[in-house]
Structure 1
Amino acid sequence: MSNEMSRLQTLLKKNRTCPAGWRMFSFSCYLVSTKTDSWDEGREDCKNKGGDLVVIDNNEEQTFVSKFTDKPAWIGLNDKETEGSWKWVDGTSLNFKHWANKQPDNGNGESRWGEEDCAYTRTNEETKWNDLSCNTSMHWLCEKVPT
């Protein structure tokens, strides 16, 4: 929490902006990918752009994200390290939750789905999160600090 407070204080002191193509909300810049790929490839793309997959901290950010994209998209949440222990890409534990009904379910034990260790946000009327195989190809959401 203290890191977040420091970041916010620094941002308030400076007039920061987002790069072209990115959109500002609260104290972060967001970008939806134009292509689709795996969770790992999406994360790598975000890192190459100076950010990471989005970390959703509260209901306001979730509302923004759900309106920002009209496509299902990877978010920075996974349980790759320990099944059932969901963590954000910044290392923080899952405090704010927005799972769909009966999710996460790790494929509900059906082998055709494989391990479902990565999370994405759905769109349209159902903006809740779901878990899916990290190898599934879909869009992703990047987040970074304005410069």
Structure 2
Amino acid sequence: MADEEVNYASVTFNTKKLSRSQVKKEEETIYDDVKVKYKATEQTPDTNNFSIDERSGSRRHHYEQLACCLGTFCVILVLGIIAVTVYQKQVMNLTAENHSLREKNEQLEAQNKELETEKENLTEQIRDIMISWNELNISRAQWSIDAYCPKENNNRKCNPCQAGWIYAEPSCYAVNDADRDQWKTWEAAREDCRGKSSDLVVVINEKEKKTVSEKSWTYDENKGYWIGLRVEDGKWKWLDGRNMTNSSWIDQPPSAGHCAVSVQNQGFKSVSCNEKNRWICKKKAVIV
């Protein structure tokens, strides 16, 4: 039984002839080598895996830092571009505004020069007008003196009315008995009176009506003289704004476009304002 279970092998060793101490030392060396190699073999996979993961993690961390830096740089760059763009736009706007203000300033300066020139011209005109006005006033004053106080034998005698006017207290009357070719419409006659610092005669009372009627001398089929009475708003009105209340002075009803004439011994009559007639002016007499 024992012979069947145990197998014996013949091993042949070719050995060197070594001393006992060398053999023992060599056996220890081989054992140490095997032990170290075994330990190295067992530890190598774990060490290698740890080193790879550590290096991979370190690289990933560096990449993340680099990406963060690049992102920050990009954000700063974009913000810088936006800031530069906004600044350039503001500069362009300010430049355009400055140019516009310069143009306006030049226009204002040109207008100011024109206004200065106009001012000088107006000042000169006003000076000329004042000189002419003073001369005119002097001339009018002299004319008034000569008209109201004419010289007689180197002496002056003053009258309430100027030469050519008829005095009937307290007014002066100018009876314009011009030839037919100089007759005027009612409006034209009034303008002539205004040019003489007067107006068409306005009758105040019966006494004055009689005076005016007496001065309305007969001529050419007894035509009358324009007076300051016309139809306004369907009523007879005097030039001083009064309504004619005495209906006996004119027996004709008021008709649009009609004015009154004074006819000697016939009172007042209504005729078209566009007819041409002589006229009577009136103004206040001067107290002498």
Indicate which of 242, 249, 258 corresponds to 1:92: 242
Indicate which of 191, 197, 214 corresponds to 1:50: 197
Residue of structure 1 in register with 2:253 after alignment? 104
**How far did residue 146 of structure 1 move?**
1.8
Q: Secondary structure at the match of 1:44?
A: helix
Q: Secondary structure at the match of 1:86?
A: strand
Cα pair 1:77 1:119 within 8 Å, conserved? yes
Structure with greater Cα Rg: 2
* Higher RCO (CA-CA < 8 Å; seq separation 6+): 1
CA distance in structure 2 between the aligned counterparts of 1:37 and 1:52, rounded to whole angstroms: 14
Q: 1:37 to 1:26 in 2, by over 3 A?
A: same
CA distance in structure 1 between the aligned counterparts of 2:200 and 2:193, rounded to whole angstroms: 6
**How far did residue 24 of structure 1 move?**
1.1
Q: Which residue type is aligned with residue 104 of structure 1? A: P
TM-score by length of 1: 0.73
Q: Which residue type is aligned with residue 122 of structure 1? A: V
Q: Secondary structure at the match of 2:172?
A: strand
Q: Which residue type is aligned with residue 171 of structure 2? A: S
Q: Mind listing any 5+ residue stretches in structure 2 that lack a counterpart?
A: 1-157, 219-223
Residue of structure 1 in register with 2:263 after alignment? 122
Name the count of aligned residue pairs. 120
Q: Secondary structure at the match of 2:191?
A: helix
CA distance in structure 1 between the aligned counterparts of 2:253 and 2:275, rounded to whole angstroms: 16
**How far did residue 57 of structure 1 move?**
1.1
Cα pair 1:57 1:96 within 8 Å, conserved? no
CA distance in structure 2 between the aligned counterparts of 1:57 and 1:43, rounded to whole angstroms: 18
In the TM superposition, 1:1-147 aligns within 5 A as 17-35=160-178, 36-71=183-218, 72-79=224-231, 81-83=232-234, 85-101=235-251, 103-104=252-253, 106=255, 115-123=256-264, 125-126=265-266, 128-147=267-286
Q: Mind listing any 5+ residue stretches in structure 1 that lack a counterpart?
A: 1-14, 107-114
**How far did residue 129 of structure 1 move?**
0.9
Q: Secondary structure at the match of 1:76?
A: strand
CA distance in structure 1 between the aligned counterparts of 2:230 and 2:278, rounded to whole angstroms: 16
Structure with the higher fraction of residues in strand conformation: 1
Q: 1:97 to 1:45 in 2, by over 3 A?
A: farther
Residue of structure 2 in register with 1:11 after alignment? none
The structure 1 segments of at least 4 consecutive aligned residues displaced by more than 2 Å after TM superposition are: 95-101
Cα pair 1:39 1:118 within 8 Å, conserved? yes
Query: C-alpha offsets along residues 7-61 of structure 1, whole Å, 9 cap, x if unaligned?
Result: xxxxxxxx97111010111211001113311000110001100100000111111
Q: Secondary structure at the match of 2:184?
A: coil
Cα pair 1:30 1:142 within 8 Å, conserved? yes
Cα pair 1:56 1:96 within 8 Å, conserved? no
Structure with the higher fraction of residues in helix conformation: 2
CA distance in structure 2 between the aligned counterparts of 1:99 and 1:105, rounded to whole angstroms: 13
